[in-house]
């Protein structure tokens, strides 16, 4: 009996030793595979901007807002007052940037906020917007599709054509149609966009295309614009020297110093997209807020190399800002790259276009076109936009969007 117990004991020791050497204890530990990437959490999106609300009928309100980069959806919240408890009225989430809220009470004011979603992450609330439903005795307005876009133009380069047009009030998107002949009948819808410009790529060299644009809202699609055409180039030259819409990064340097008013790139106002460059006070990021009782000179500039050309160059941009005659205004200059740009005054150089831009013409974004002499061919110059204001109160400061220099 003792021998049997001794044998069992010895076998148990040997078995324990064998399991230890073979690393069986490692079966209790789970190691991550180093070849697999570490998952990164999705980022929290910014709050939507541009929320607007309008009554459609006695029981319906229409909402729209600007798209948020990286957002996978949106939620709409409602309250009875601007300080009331917000209630999520969205079933799941929305993927569009508009919503029709129905089942409301006639003659009642409703307040709304929107948040952006990225996976499980939700932004803060947008600024609120409110509307009052129509009274039950008020006739329901006939839903209107947007009007036809105006001002469509086309600029060609090799294998692509750049299109731009005037924004349409109430449009949530635009459809672009193309044809090889100047006939909208039989044209093909090639793309839908959310801003009032687009670059059509993949076009063979030396090919003529005709284009039309329609505006779209939640009620449907409007009429065709007038056509614009262009022929792609075949010599490798690109007529667009640079374009700047301020949507992502900016190619311009801002010179504000310690001035009480400054150039700022933000979402305070825009012609297309959601951002532009505009003058505001140094304590604000909102457009239209600037100090009137202190004179200022502020600038934004970038260097430009003019490719060889025997023809004049064309600078276009959209400008808003009424200013005050020669006292508060915008001016544009071409100066040498060695010129000093400071807030003590205007840089030394050549004024291009009008001596200054101000007045009621620019109470809303208006296209400005400036011809630049061909004598600049082959040179590098500094393009400077300057805002100045004196010590009296008048008008609104400058805002600039969609700058294009071409030949």
pLDDT at 2 over 80: no
Q: How high is the pLDDT of residue 122? A: 94
Tell me, yes or no, whether 229 and 164 share the same domain. yes
Helix boundaries (H) for 77-198: none
Average pLDDT over residues 224-236: 84
CA quadruple 360, 363, 365, 371: dihedral, nearest 10: 20
Give pLDDT tens digits for 139-189. 655 568 899 999 898 988 878 899 999 999 889 999 999 999 999 999 999
Alpha-carbon distance of 227 to 240, in angstroms, equals 21
Give pLDDT tens digits for 105-118. 999 999 999 999 99
Alpha-carbon distance of 304 to 127, in angstroms, equals 39
Tell me, yes or no, whether 195 and 322 share the same domain. no
Q: What pLDDT band is residue 29 in, cutting at 50, 70 and 90? A: very low
In contact, 141 and 219? CB cutoff 8 Å:
no
Alpha-carbon distance of 329 to 346, in angstroms, equals 12
In contact, 212 and 223? CB cutoff 8 Å:
no
Tell me, yes or no, whether 207 and 330 share the same domain. no
Tell me, yes or no, whether 343 and 222 share the same domain. no
Is residue 27 domain-resident?
no
Tell me, yes or no, whether 211 and 251 share the same domain. no
User: What 8-state DSSP symbol labels residue 393?
Assistant: -
The CATH number of residue 254's host domain is: 2.60.120.260
Is residue 47 domain-resident?
no
Over pLDDT 90: what percentage of the chain?
A: 64
What's the Rg (C-alpha) of the chain? 30
Q: How high is the pLDDT of residue 42? A: 64
Contacts of 130 (CB under 8 A, 6+ apart): 53, 82, 109, 110, 111, 112
Which of 237, 263, 290 terminates a domain? The answer is 237
Is residue 1 domain-resident?
no
Contacts of 88 (CB under 8 A, 6+ apart): 75, 76, 77
Tell me, yes or no, whether 208 and 321 share the same domain. no
Alpha-carbon distance of 161 to 164, in angstroms, equals 10
Tell me, yes or no, whether 89 and 184 share the same domain. no
Tell me, yes or no, whether 280 and 321 share the same domain. yes
Q: How high is the pLDDT of residue 31? A: 40
Is residue 69 domain-resident?
yes
Give pLDDT tens digits for 58-104. 899 999 999 998 899 999 999 999 999 999 999 888 888 888 899 99
Which of 237, 266, 289 terminates a domain? The answer is 237
Tell me, yes or no, whether 272 and 359 share the same domain. yes
Which tops the pLDDT comparison, 3 or 88? 88
Domain count, the chain: 3
Is residue 35 domain-resident?
no
Tell me, yes or no, whether 331 and 368 share the same domain. yes
Which of 103, 132, 161 terminates a domain? The answer is 132
Which tops the pLDDT comparison, 42 or 365? 365
**Residues linked to residue 387 through DSSP beta bridges, in sequence order:** 298, 330
The CATH number of residue 171's host domain is: 2.60.40.10
Tell me, yes or no, whether 396 and 260 share the same domain. yes
pLDDT at 346 over 70: yes
Average pLDDT over residues 358-371: 94
Give pLDDT tens digits for 247-260. 888 999 999 999 99
Is residue 233 domain-resident?
yes
By DSSP bridging, strand 228-231 and strand 98-101 are unpaired
Average pLDDT over residues 116-126: 93
Is residue 44 domain-resident?
no
Is residue 165 domain-resident?
yes
Alpha-carbon distance of 114 to 124, in angstroms, equals 8
User: What 8-state DSSP symbol labels residue 4?
Assistant: H
In contact, 263 and 187? CB cutoff 8 Å:
no
Q: Long-range contacts of range 175-179, CB-CB < 8 Å, 24 or more positions apart?
A: 175/213, 175/214, 175/216, 175/221, 176/200, 176/211, 176/212, 176/213, 177/211, 177/212, 177/213, 177/214, 177/224, 178/209, 178/210, 178/211, 179/209, 179/210
Q: What is the DSSP string of 41-53?
A: PPPPPPPP---EE
- Name the one residue in this structure whose structure tokens are 């790529």: 201
Tell me, yes or no, whether 194 and 260 share the same domain. no
Domain ranges, residue 66: 52-132
Helix (H, G, I), strand (E, B) or coil at 209: strand
């Amino acid at each position: 009996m003792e021998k049997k117990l001794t044998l069992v004991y010895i076998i148990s020791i040997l078995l324990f030793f064998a399991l230890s050497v073979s690393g069986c204890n490692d079966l209790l530990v789970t190691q991550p595979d180093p070849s697999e990437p570490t998952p990164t959490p999705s980022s929290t999106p910014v709050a939507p901007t541009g929320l607007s609300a309008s009554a459609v009928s006695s029981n319906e309100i229409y909402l729209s807002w600007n798209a948020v980069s990286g957002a996978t959806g949106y939620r709409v919240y409602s309250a009875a007052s601007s300080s009331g408890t917000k209630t999520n009225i969205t079933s799941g989430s929305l993927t569009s940037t508009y919503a029709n809220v129905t089942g409301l009470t006639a003659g009642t004011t409703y307040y709304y906020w929107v948040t952006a979603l990225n996976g499980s992450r939700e932004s803060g609330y947008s600024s609120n917007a409110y509307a009052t439903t129509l009274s039950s005795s008020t006739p329901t307005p006939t839903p209107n599709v947007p009007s036809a876009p105006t001002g469509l133009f086309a600029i060609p380069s090799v294998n692509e054509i750049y299109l731009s047009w005037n924004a349409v009030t109430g449009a949530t998107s635009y459809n672009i149609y193309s044809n090889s002949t100047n006939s909208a009948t039989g044209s093909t819808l090639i793309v839908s966009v959310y801003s009032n410009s687009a670059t059509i790529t993949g076009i063979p060299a030396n090919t003529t295309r005709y284009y039309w644009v329609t505006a779209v809202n939640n009620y449907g699609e409007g009429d065709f614009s007038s056509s614009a055409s262009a022929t792609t180039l075949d010599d490798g030259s690109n007529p667009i020297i640079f374009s700047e819409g301020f949507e992502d990064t900016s190619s311009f340097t801002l010179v504000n110093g310690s001035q009480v008013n400054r150039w700022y790139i933000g979402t305070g106002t825009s012609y297309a997209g959601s951002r532009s460059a505009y003058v505001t006070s140094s304590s604000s990021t909102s457009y239209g807020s600037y100090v009137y009782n202190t004179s200022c000179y502020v600038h934004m500039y970038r260097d430009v190399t003019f490719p060889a050309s025997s023809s004049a160059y064309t600078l276009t941009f959209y400008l808003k800002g009424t200013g005050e005659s020669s006292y508060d205004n915008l001016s544009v200059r071409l100066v040498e790259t060695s010129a000093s740009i400071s807030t003590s005054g205007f840089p030394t150089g050549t004024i291009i276009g009008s001596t200054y831009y101000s007045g009621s013409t620019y109470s809303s974004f208006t296209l400005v076109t400036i011809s630049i002499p061909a004598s600049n061919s082959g040179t590098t110059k500094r393009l400077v936009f300057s805002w100045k204001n004196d010590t009296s109160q008048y008008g609104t400061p400058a805002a600039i969007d969609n700058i294009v220099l071409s030949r």
